[in-house]
Amino acid sequence: MRTAFTHLYMKGIKIQFRQPVQHSPSAGRAAIAHVLWCRRVMGTRIVILNTAIFVRLVPYLRDSRFVEGEACRRFSKAPRIRNWPLVTGRAYPEQAHETAKYLGIDVLETTAYDFANGEMYVRYTEPVRGADAFVMQAHTEPINKWIMEQLIMVDAMKRASARSITVVAPFLGYSRQDKKHQGREPITARLIFDLFRAAGADRIMTVDLHAAQEQGFFDGPVDHLTATPVLLDYVRNNMPLENTTIVSPDAGRIKVSEQWAAKLGNLPLAFIHKTRDTTRPNHAEAHGIIGEVEGHDCVVVDDMIDTAGTICEAVRTLNNAGAKSVTLVATHGLLSGPAVERLRNCGAKEIVLTDTVPVPEEKRLPNMTVLSVAPLLAAGIRSVFESGSVSTLLNGLPEDMRPRNIYA
């Protein structure tokens, strides 16, 4: 449906357009917000009562090419309202569109493609000058390609004169390489932060870094979100907790497991003692359990499942110790290589993940649940844009961000 306008009534003030304007017919819910982007008219007027829409139109009211009379004079001294475009790479655009729904905005259209030799091209189809931009990308397979694409997107945004650029990487690639285990090794996590800074990023937003201290690698603010509220709500509402023990898969996750145990009503805690062979990737060996697990429903809490070798070893260790059932909970479901087959045969009662990286249907098992982090990302983006507190999200999602459908 096409609707056109010659006048707008805002706060009781009539605004007369010198040039005809017409909004894009693509989105009914955003029709009024888009009205000033086009130039043709058929002669209609509308009353705007929504304050949010009013705010989005104010910057254009300062432009004398479009408005005249009292409205132009009344708003000429008004501060320019910064918009907040959300753009996404090609790795997982569905997540960005779902996040945009919670924010009540649209994802900015981007042109992106590969050249014949593998190089990438990116261009934004609308102006972003003066905007507070959020550049989202999932660091999934092929991870190096998608990281490079996000770096190119940041550079394009900087050269388009965005006011600020926030990199949104729900799972940050290379975050496990945060320290040197042997001589002549890189600290690649630091390199990734440096690359985004050099490309033009002012801020980075991510979920459940492998080590929280990696925030110090970036010369700027890092909004370190956690998927714990999303995962906690699911466990609390879908599992009987009377006989549950929270299990840390290794000593490094004890602090997180303690928080889980406390938030679920001071549940008992156990952890698995294991050692990792730094010369063999994705390999660790469990040596025993500290804590009581026999006859208990165990919930193993980890930050990621990659090849699933160590987490499946933890399940077998718990089952051999007499655990009644074992549920695996992790933020990042990378599910690389033999992960799906290992999880299928490990004996876990349920596997709960989030979609910080896409989990395709062919990798989803009957006992696997994938939860959406879109409301968490939306709440974080809104807090940054409105200069609010991101740390309050540690206690749970805002009421208006609680998902109607928790599944990804």
Strands 110-114 and 297-305: unpaired
User: Which one is predicted more confidently, 35 or 145?
Assistant: 145
| CATH number of the domain where residue 303 is located | 3.40.50.2020
For range 209-234, the mean pLDDT: 96
> Are 113 and 127 contacting, i.e. CB atoms less than 8 angstroms apart?
no
Asked if residue 407 belongs to a domain, the reply is no
- Strand order of the β-sheet with 325-333 is 284-290, 269-276, 244-248, 297-305, 325-333, 350-354, 368-371
In-domain check, residue 92: yes
**Residues of the domain holding 55:** 4-75
Please check whether residues 120 and 193 belong to one and the same domain. yes
Average pLDDT over residues 23-45: 34
From 11, 14, 255, 274, active-site residue: 274
Whether residue 50 lies inside any domain: the answer is yes
The answer on 209 and 92 residing in a single domain is yes
Q: Is 339 exposed, middle or buried (0-12, 13-18, 19+ CB in 10 A)?
A: buried
Looking at residue 405, its pLDDT comes to 72
- Mean pLDDT for the chain? 82
Task: Please indicate whether residue 55 or residue 369 has the higher confidence score (pLDDT).
Answer: 369
How far, rounded to the nearest angstrom, does the alpha carbon of residue 191 sit from its chain's CA centroid?
A: 21
**Is 241 found in the same domain as 214?**
no
In this prediction, residue 283 carries a pLDDT of 59
Into how many domains does the chain fold?
A: 3
Same domain, 277 and 265: yes
Same domain, 50 and 126: no
Within this chain, do residues 59 and 109 fall inside the same structural domain, yes or no?
no
6 pLDDT more than 80: no
In a domain, 308, yes or no: yes
The region of weakest confidence among 43-57, 180-194, 292-306, 350-364 is: 43-57
pLDDT of residue 14: 44
Mean pLDDT across the stretch 131-154? Answer: 98
Find the mean pLDDT for residues 42-54.
37
Query: Does 116 fall in a domain?
Result: yes
Altogether, the residues listed in the chain come to a count of: 408
Task: List phi, psi (to 5°) of 305.
Answer: -120, 115
For the chain, the distance separating the N- and C-terminal CA atoms, rounded to the nearest angstrom, is 32
In this prediction, residue 252 carries a pLDDT of 80
**Residue 309 included in any domain:** yes
Sequence-distant (≥ 6) Cβ neighbours of residue 205 within 8 angstroms: 134, 166, 167, 168, 169, 222, 223, 225, 377, 380, 381, 384
Angle between helix axes 374-385 and 93-103 (nearest 10 degrees) is: 60
Given a cut of 80, whether residue 351 has pLDDT beyond it is: yes
Same domain, 61 and 102: no
- Domain-located, residue 80: no
Q: List pLDDT tens digits, range 203-220.
A: 999 999 999 999 999 999
172 and 303 assigned to the same domain: no
**pLDDT band for position 12 (cuts 50, 70, 90):** very low
Q: Is the dihedral of CA 21, 23, 25, 28 positive or negative?
A: negative
| Same-domain status, 234 and 205 | no
**CA neighbor of 23 nearest in space, from 48, 41, 50:** 41
Highest mean pLDDT among 251-255, 279-283, 293-297: 293-297
238 and 299 fall within a common domain? yes
Same domain, 342 and 278: yes
Q: What is the DSSP letter of 25?
A: T
Residue 408 falls inside a structural domain: no
Positive/negative CA dihedral, 277, 281, 285, 289: positive
| Confidence band, pLDDT 50/70/90 cuts, at residue 282 | low
Alpha-carbon distance of 249 to 327, in angstroms, equals: 12
pLDDT band at 395 (very low <50, low <70, confident <90, very high): confident
Confidence of residue 62 (pLDDT cuts 50, 70, 90): very low
pLDDT at 231 over 80: yes
Annotated catalytic, 263? Answer: no
Q: What is the DSSP string of 294-311?
A: TTSEEEEEEEEESS-HHH
**Is residue 168 within 8 Å of residue 137, measured between CB atoms?**
yes
**Same structural domain, 182 and 303:** no
Least confident of 79-93, 131-145, 384-398: 79-93
More confident residue, 174 or 394: 174
pLDDT band at residue 167 under the 50/70/90 scheme: very high
> Residue 241 — φ and ψ, nearest 5°?
-105, 0
